[in-house]
């Protein structure tokens, strides 16, 4: 079978392929932040047991929900990371379980790059974190927390 495609059809096919491969591309600033992110992942690693900080999947979702723009996302997260306070915290459950994170005395330029990466990255759901949380909640006799994390597992991980 022979296909006859016009130049416009070829152009559209090439554009569609290009954009599908680059739809999730990070900005140059986010790429620099990704290289610096391991400093954050020490505590925010979703597979760490016990958790030292909430997984970035959830942190990112809360900042997206509580900010109106990319600029506000970056401003609020950088401000919190530099000098964490109860008033600036937006993750009440993690705060109640883990307390405030220590301040990160890094230059604004570096924090902006890391936070831009956190904002742009498509983190996977923290399935390992939820599995461990269900187990710990059941061990502690906290069925409400176990049900909440089990719902997350069922919704995002199965």
CA distance 97 to 54: 10
pLDDT digits (tens, 9 = 90+) for 5-21: 555 454 444 444 444 34
By percentage, how much of the chain surpasses pLDDT 90? 78
Those residues whose C-beta lies under 8 Å from the C-beta of residue 147, and which sit 6 or more positions away, are none
Contact indicator for 140, 79 with CB cutoff of 8 Å: no
Copy the structure tokens of residue 16: 């569609």
Residue 7 is predicted with a pLDDT of 56
Task: Report the CATH number of the 28-124 domain.
Answer: 1.10.760.10
Report, as an integer, the average pLDDT of 73-95: 94
Residue ranges covered by each domain of the chain: 28-124
The pLDDT, as a whole number, for residue 20 is: 39
Cα-Cα-Cα-Cα torsion 119, 123, 125, 130, nearest 10 degrees, comes to -80
Note if the bond before 70 is cis, omega within 30 degrees.
no
Residue 97: predicted pLDDT: 87
pLDDT of residue 4: 57
- What's the gap between Cα 131 and its chain centre? 18
Euclidean distance between CA atoms 14 and 38, whole angstroms: 36
Q: What does the alpha-carbon distance between residue 14 and residue 127 come to, in Å, rounded to a whole number?
A: 36
pLDDT digits (tens, 9 = 90+) for 59-81: 999 999 999 999 999 999 999 99
A 10 A CB-CB count for 113 gives 24
Q: What is the pLDDT of residue 96?
A: 87
CA 29, 31, 35 angle in degrees (round to 5)? 115
Q: Which two tokens stand for residue 38?
A: 């391991």
pLDDT for 45: 96
Question: What pLDDT sits at residue 13?
Answer: 46
Average pLDDT, the chain: 88
Mean pLDDT of 103-114: 97
């Amino acid at each position: 079978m022979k296909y006859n495609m016009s130049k416009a059809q070829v152009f559209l096919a090439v554009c569609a392929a290009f954009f599908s491969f680059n739809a999730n591309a990070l900005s140059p600033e986010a790429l620099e932040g990704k290289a610096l992110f391991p400093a954050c992942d020490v505590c925010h690693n979703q597979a760490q047991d016990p958790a030292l900080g909430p997984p970035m999947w959830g942190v990112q979702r809360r900042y997206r929900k509580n900010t109106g723009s990319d600029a506000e996302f970056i401003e609020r997260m950088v401000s919190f990371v530099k000098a964490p306070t109860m008033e600036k915290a937006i993750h009440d459950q993690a705060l109640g379980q883990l307390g405030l994170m220590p301040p990160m005395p890094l230059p604004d330029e570096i924090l902006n790059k890391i936070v831009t990466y956190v904002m742009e990255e498509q983190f996977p759901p923290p399935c390992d974190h939820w599995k461990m949380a269900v187990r710990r909640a059941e061990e502690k006799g906290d069925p409400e927390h176990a049900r909440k994390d089990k719902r997350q597992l069922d919704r995002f991980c199965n």
